[in-house]
Structure 1
Amino acid sequence: MTDAQNTLPETKNDEPVSDTTLKAKRKKALGFVALILIIAVILYAVWTVFFNHSVDTDNAYVGAETASITSMVTGQVEQVLVSDTQTVKKGQLLVRVDQRDAEIALATAKAELVKAQRQYKQTQANSSSLNSQIFVSDDAIHSAEAKVAEAKAEMDKAQDDLNRREKLSVSGAISKEELSTAQSALTTAKAVYASAQAGLAQAKSSQKAAQSNLAANEALIRGADENSTPDVLVAQAKLKQALLDLERTEIKAPFDGVVTRRNIQVGQRVAPGTVLMMVVPTSQLYVDANFKESQLEKVRPGQKAVLTSDLYGDSVEYHGTVQGFSGGTGSAFALIPAQNATGNWIKVVQRLPVRIKLDPKELAEHPLRVGLSMEAKVDLSSK
């Protein structure tokens, strides 16, 4: 019994000790958790303040403003001087179209220009001729007026003779034949006078016609010279068009780049708008980096970016500048846009293309091609 009695109080004394220990352990555990939370908050704050200055994505691809090489004239292809994958320089001859038709059109345009210039000179000469006609018509009018005056005098004389003979015929002093002769002379004088008046009117009409022709002729050349009349200007425009068509028979590279998708052969007939090949400007490439919409809060045009290519690996870095943002997400401009107005809709994080311009010098050292994969990281702290 003594042992049992001694044991019982010890058990009762252990219970308060266990509660105290448990409370201490619990307090210690809560303190440890609180310490972890405080450390996490501090680490997040440090990361936010000192390290959260960039966003990155591996959903990025190389792009370029490629040039479609098309024909501007109709004709048969005479030479094709490049092939796919060939590097070309700006102004390098790519394709030559048969020039004979263009040369004929050029010769025709030159002849039409010479003809228009000669017509201008002829118009000037016509003005001089019409001026001479006006001076001559003045003399003709004066001569006709003189004839009218002479005919009027003859008619008046014939009228006086007839009047005298009529008075004498009443008394029988002259014969009827003489009176008839006087009447005939008056009729003839009147006819001559009428003819003279008609001649005067014709001379005046001829002068007016010459004056009208001169005015019309002067209107064609007034304020112009041999190189500025309408007909000459039209001929000059046709000549320029013919020269341009002849120049366009030689199709040249618009910039430095690489030939791709060549689909033209010697002997093929082309028409304006026919696509012959494409040229990709290897020194003017850019990257479209598709960032998540949640990453774009602090991204701004002008910020610097560092990029790496799967072609060269992480050992080669490209430096670029953010140029801007696309007008919409990739799904918005898809052939069949996503239809979210459905009952089983699930939100999907969208990606917006961000255009990044690459450094031409770095591209020259490590060339890229359109469509290659890139990894892009934008420095949010840069301006």
Structure 2
Amino acid sequence: MTHSSSAASAATIPDAAASPRHIHLDPDHKPPGTRLSREQKRRRALTLLTLFVLLAAGAAIAWYLLVGEWNESTDDAYVAGDMAQINSQIPGTLVSVKVRDGDKVQAGDVLAELDPTDTAVALAQAKSALANAVRQSHGLFNQANSAQSDLAARAQALSTARSDYERRVTLARTGAVSSEEVDHARQSLEAAQAAYNAARQQYDARRVLVAGTELSTQPAVEVAAAQLRAAYLNSRRNAILSPLDGYVARRTAQVGQRVQPGQAMMTIVPLQDVWIDANFKETQLRKMRIGQPATIETDLYGSKVRYTGKVASLGVGTGSVFALLPAQNATGNWIKIVQRIPVRITLDQPQQLEQHPLRLGMSTTVEVDIHNQSGPLLAQQPAPGAVQTTDVYARYNAQADALIAQVIQENRPGTAGKKG
């Protein structure tokens, strides 16, 4: 019995070497020392994460206190600039258009030309009118001189008649001459006096037409000269000039088109002198002052190109105030909206515009450094001079003066008919 039960027991105990697939191992089962090390790593990771968060928060607070609090930025900002609208000063028909959109032009360049026929006819008429006025005015001077000579002769005749009359009156007292001769002498004196009076009136009438003037300052000559000046300027205005350097935009002029004064033909945009209109919220203007530095980024060039500038002026009103239909905030339907005020930023490095030109209306992002708050909120002095000037038309006045002087000289006494 004992041997059989032992054999049975031995038969029921599996042989480990014979059946290894029946052994089950727990993959999560690790020694106690290993589990403690993992918890320490976890606590260490949490500690590092907490330190990182605290450092990031500290850095953010430090950035805000040192940088963020002293900077105001907006992406509601756009490139702006002057736009010189080109139009004709006289009516006419276009016979030539010399530029296209995008072309570069300089001050004084001819942009288009009008048919010169009408103005050439008017100029010829004005020249003839001035020549006629000069000759007629010269006649007035001659008449005044003639009247003066006649007055002198009448004065001499009057003096002679008075002497004859007085001598005969003296002789008549002694009986040397008859009373009849005295009467004849008195009549001659009265006739000489009447002739002198008439000559005096004639001289005064002639003299008043030329008194205090010379040939070129005669009223009739000045009127004709003004008409010639206008005709000459109109003849030169057939050439439509660019008043400044820039680029052509929105050209609508076409050959054969009949244009009127004030009609828009094209626009000249001086891209070398643009600025930024940044629309800041009114809550951002508390520490903003004129003269504070600014940096500008554009959507075109991105963060690789940063323009530098400064605050030139703070707007005097919100955009809604100057709108065609301004807001009626006194009505019952009112919702408060944070307003924006335009701030002009001027670019202070022209070479940046030469390397990376801007176009009007481009979107930009502006950041203003408000550390220095010593500048004013509004301009304290008026503009020192003209903001824009051009002298492309001034030469026409000098040319008109030269033409007037030439016409007057050619029609003076002794030179009339001599040209060349």
TM-score (norm 2): 0.66
> What's the secondary structure of 2:234's corresponding residue?
helix
* Partner residue in 2 for 1:123: 140
> What's the secondary structure of 2:99's corresponding residue?
coil
Q: Which amino acid aligns with 2:249?
A: T
The correspondence for 1:372, drawn from 362, 365, 382, is 362
* Partner residue in 1 for 2:85: 68
Gap runs ≥5 in structure 1: 1-35, 161-185
Q: Which moved more, 1:61-70 or 1:358-367?
A: 358-367
The correspondence for 1:296, drawn from 272, 278, 285, is 285
* Partner residue in 2 for 1:276: 265
* Partner residue in 1 for 2:404: none
User: Within 5 A, what are the aligned runs for 1:88-127?
Assistant: 88-127=105-144
Distance (whole Å) between structure 2 residues aligned to residue 95 and residue 106 of structure 1: 21
Residues 227-254 of structure 1 show CA distances to partners (whole Å, capped at 9, x for unaligned) of 2233333333222222221221111111
Distance (whole Å) between structure 1 residues aligned to residue 292 and residue 191 of structure 2: 91
* Partner residue in 1 for 2:41: none
> How many Å apart are 1:315 and its aligned residue?
1.0
Distance (whole Å) between structure 2 residues aligned to residue 50 and residue 62 of structure 1: 26
> What's the secondary structure of 1:52's corresponding residue?
helix
TM-score (norm 1): 0.72
Residue 235 (structure 1) aligned with residue 252 (structure 2): no
Distance (whole Å) between structure 2 residues aligned to residue 195 and residue 278 of structure 1: 89
Residue 205 (structure 1) aligned with residue 194 (structure 2): yes
Gap runs ≥5 in structure 2: 1-52, 376-420
> How many Å apart are 1:376 and its aligned residue?
0.7
User: Within 5 A, what are the aligned runs for 1:120-269?
Assistant: 120-138=137-155, 140-141=157-158, 200-269=189-258
Distance (whole Å) between structure 2 residues aligned to residue 200 and residue 209 of structure 1: 14
Q: Which amino acid aligns with 1:312?
A: Y
* Partner residue in 1 for 2:308: 319
Q: Which moved more, 1:55-64 or 1:233-242?
A: 233-242
Change (3 A) 1:238 1:306: same
> How many Å apart are 1:122 and its aligned residue?
1.9
Residues 150-178 of structure 1 show CA distances to partners (whole Å, capped at 9, x for unaligned) of 99999xx9xx9xxxxxxxxxxxxxxxxxx
Q: Which moved more, 1:69-78 or 1:236-245?
A: 236-245
Q: Which amino acid aligns with 1:271?
A: Q
Contact 2:90–2:260, Cα closer than 8 Å, also in 1: yes
* Partner residue in 2 for 1:339: 328
> How many Å apart are 1:105 and its aligned residue?
2.2
Contact 2:114–2:238, Cα closer than 8 Å, also in 1: yes
* Partner residue in 2 for 1:82: 99
Structure 1 or 2: more helix by fraction:
1
Change (3 A) 1:199 1:97: farther
Distance (whole Å) between structure 1 residues aligned to residue 269 and residue 75 of structure 2: 24
> How many Å apart are 1:89 and its aligned residue?
2.0
Change (3 A) 1:318 1:257: same
> How many Å apart are 1:337 and its aligned residue?
2.1
> How many Å apart are 1:220 and its aligned residue?
2.8
Distance (whole Å) between structure 1 residues aligned to residue 73 and residue 265 of structure 2: 39
* Partner residue in 2 for 1:167: none
* Partner residue in 1 for 2:10: none
Contact 2:292–2:370, Cα closer than 8 Å, also in 1: yes
Distance (whole Å) between structure 2 residues aligned to residue 368 and residue 53 of structure 1: 28
Change (3 A) 1:319 1:50: closer
> How many Å apart are 1:330 and its aligned residue?
1.4
Q: Which amino acid aligns with 1:376?
A: V
Change (3 A) 1:84 1:45: closer
